Amino acid sequence: MIFSAFFQALGQLGDRRFRRVVLLGVLLALALLVAVYAGFLQLVWWLTPDQMEIPFVGQVTGVETLLGWASLLVMLGLSVFLMVPVAAAFTGFFLEDVADAVEDRHYAHLPPAKPLSFGESLRQSVNFLGVVLAVNAVALFLYPLAGPAVPLLFWAVNGFLLGREYFTLVALRRLTPEATRDLRRRNSGRLWLAGILMAAPLSVPILSLVIPVLGVATFTHLFHKLAAQSSPP
């Protein structure tokens, strides 16, 4: 079921309406990453003198430039972790467009969904972003203890968070909060695995830029499959 939903979402990337949302999501993600890097670079320049004294070597100039290039490598590494909050932050912005595009093609027989208000989408996204940042801040202290299992820990933690968020936002378009919690609780294992399927590609530069959009599409399919499975005959 999970892979079926994923490949259905992947198969719609050629849809013109879908491509527009993917492009918007990529541009927004890139803009945020560039803004974060620019702020990080400015902080490096503020805190670093242009020249410094090194014992037995003397004065060394161009330290700012050297650290500026080093900071680029640091940010490339941090981008793996930054893409999870980026995915969380932008989910609410393109949720309706992606879910509508999926439903128009695959679930046209259903009545129109009740769209989340902008305020509700923003509230959900901000709350989830706060949880993601807090959990990943704590996880940073655990990663050194995980050794070679760091990727698995990263995927497990963020897979749980992403699966919960994506499913909740998609389900709230058609279910009450109580029914959403009930369906999510009864399928928590599947949603966790589906979230890991989204979290793993977030570790891959470039590919990670399309995952927020692809994640919403995947969970739209997954929601409809689970809802149909739970409906009485």
Query: What range does the domain containing 150 cover?
Result: 2-15+79-230
Predicted pLDDT of residue 233: 54
Question: What is the distance between the alpha carbons of residues 63 and 122, in angstroms, rounded to a whole number?
Answer: 42
Does an H or E element contain 48, and which? none
Which residue, among 150, 140, 142, 143, has the nearest Cα to 200 in the 3D structure? 150
For 124-142, what is the mean pLDDT? 74
Q: Is residue 84 part of a domain?
A: yes
Fill in the amino acid letter for 45.
Answer: W
63 inside domain: no
Average pLDDT over residues 75-81: 58
Give domain status of residue 129, yes or no: yes
Quick count: other Cβ atoms within 10 Å of Cβ 223?
Answer: 29
Per-residue pLDDT, 225: 92
Q: Of 1-5, 62-66, 139-143, where does mean pLDDT reach its minimum?
A: 62-66
Interval 167-180: pLDDT, tens: 988 898 899 889 99
Number of compact structural domains in the chain: 1
Query: Each residue of 84-112: pLDDT tens digit?
Result: 666 666 666 777 888 888 998 899 888 88
What pLDDT shows up at residue 54? 43
Mean pLDDT for the chain overall: 76
In a domain, 127, yes or no: yes
Separation between Cα atoms, residue 7 and residue 104, nearest integer Å: 17
Nearby residues of 214 by Cβ (< 8 Å), 6 or more positions away: 6, 9, 10, 13, 22, 198
Asked if residue 206 is part of any domain, the answer here is yes
H or E element that contains 15: none
Range from 109-113, 191-195, 198-202 carrying the lowest mean pLDDT = 198-202
Asked whether residue 203 is assigned to any structural domain, the reply reads yes
Q: What are phi and psi of 49, to 5 degrees?
A: -70, 155
Q: Is the pLDDT of residue 62 over 70?
A: no
Q: How high is the pLDDT of residue 18?
A: 75
Confidence of residue 59 (pLDDT cuts 50, 70, 90): very low
Domain contains 162: yes
Q: Which residue has the higher pLDDT, 125 or 232?
A: 125
Residue 36 resides in a domain: no
